[in-house]
Amino acid sequence: MDHAADAHRTDLMTITRYVLNEQSKYPESRGDFTILLNHIVLGCKFVCSAVNKAGLAKLIGLAGETNVQGEEQKKLDVLSNEVFIKSLVSSGRTCILVSEEDEEATFVEPSKRGKYCVVFDPLDGSSNIDCAVSIGTIFGIYMVKDSHEPTLDDVLQPGKHMLAAGYCMYGSSCTLVLSTGEGVHGFTLDPSLGEFILTHPDIKIPKKGKIYSVNEGNAKNWDGPTAKYVEKCKFPKDGSSSKSLRYIGSMVADVHRTLLYGGIFLYPADKKSPNGKLRVLYEVFPMSFLTEQAGGQAFTGKQRALDLVPTKIHERSPIFLGSYDDVEEIKALYAAEGKKE
């Protein structure tokens, strides 16, 4: 990449321009989706700024509450959640919001109601704030099909019905990765402009990777296929070189690396968490949507992740996602296990 030339580029593809270009492909579009995405982007910019100042602003202390998932809630979690709720409601384009931080879904009052449902984790990996590890916001967008009174069923849809999904990672740079169903694109926040600029057009995950990412501390509780797969990563029997282990423990950072470099990210079910640990609506679905759009696969141990039909807003699921061939291997191990039973 020619960084010197990049520094003098004058034709900048901002995220707003990119979304407007996409909108122009649909003559019937009224711009509602564009407005909604702009409000999500604004929320991301606000949280990015708050995360950068957190150490100085004493925002890092505990909020003194425990969220519905039993995690200690940090002040930044609360702040991020409020920012996204207020930004999404004020857009006038949403009808139901599901946040990781709130036990119940938020139903937008009729006067500000629109046709979109947004599911999100305002600050994923927030327990990593104190040690400056990358954290992020994950979101997914559904559309309510007709103009009925919105109900929970409007968000309890399989992930394949999502219109768009993305995440914003607050790390060494602030990166927003987005898919509206036509490929995956990465944007980086230019702090001098306050704009997200397209830096990673059309991200494609390598067909096979050299990295596996899993919390090996849970190994004693794993099922057979997961244990066999990880063993194979470390001690391949076919003479190939072993895979490298990379595990950050922040889903956004681990999935981001997997999208760019390939490999597989695993959060399996185990004896301690028989349904897995990650939440279906605002962690598993958006990340699976992005992975498939980038040419990879996402699997739950039983089925394609995006075919799963959630019954509760905070439901959990195991997940295996990443390079197509790597996920194919774990699928084969689960299929073989199924035949034995």
Query: What tokens appear for 149 in the block?
Result: 């009174």
User: Within a 10 A sphere around the Cβ of 88, how many other Cβ atoms?
Assistant: 26
What's the mean pLDDT in 196-225?
A: 97
Q: State the average pLDDT for the chain.
A: 91
Q: Where are the beta strands (DSSP E) in 12-163?
A: 62-66, 72-74, 94-99, 106-107, 113-124, 135-143
Q: What angle do CA 275, 242, 298 make, to 5 degrees?
A: 35
C-alpha span between 265 and 283 (Å, rounded): 13
Give per-residue pLDDT as tens, 215-254: 999 999 999 999 999 999 999 998 889 999 999 999 999 9
pTM: predicted TM-score of the whole model, two decimal places: 0.92
Q: Which fold has domain 211-338?
A: D-Maltodextrin-Binding Protein; domain 2 (3.40.190)
E strands within the chain? Answer: 62-66, 72-74, 94-99, 106-107, 113-124, 135-143, 164-170, 174-179, 185-190, 195-200, 211-213, 244-245, 264-267, 278-279, 297-299, 316-317, 319-322
Computed on alpha carbons and rounded to an integer, the radius of gyration of the chain in Å comes to 20
Per mean pLDDT, which range of 124-133, 191-200, 240-249 is the poorest?
124-133
Q: What is the CATH code for 3-200?
A: 3.30.540.10
3-200 matches 211-338 in fold: no
pLDDT at position 60 is 53
Q: Which residue has the higher pLDDT, 253 or 28?
A: 253
The full set of domain ranges for the chain reads: 3-200, 211-338
- Distance (Å, whole) CA 301 – CA 212: 16
Cβ-contact 324, 292 below 8 angstroms = no
Please name the residues in contact with 64: beta carbons below 8 A apart, sequence gap of 6 or more.
73
Q: The tokens of 183 are what?
A: 């490929």
For 64-122, the pLDDT digits (tens) are 556 666 655 558 888 999 999 999 999 999 999 999 999 999 999 999 999 999 999 99
Q: In this structure, are residues 230 and 216 in contact, taking their beta carbons and an 8 Å threshold?
A: yes
Average pLDDT over residues 174-182: 96
pLDDT above 70 covers what percent of the chain? 91
Q: Which pLDDT value is given to residue 70? A: 62
- 279 token code pair: 């939440």
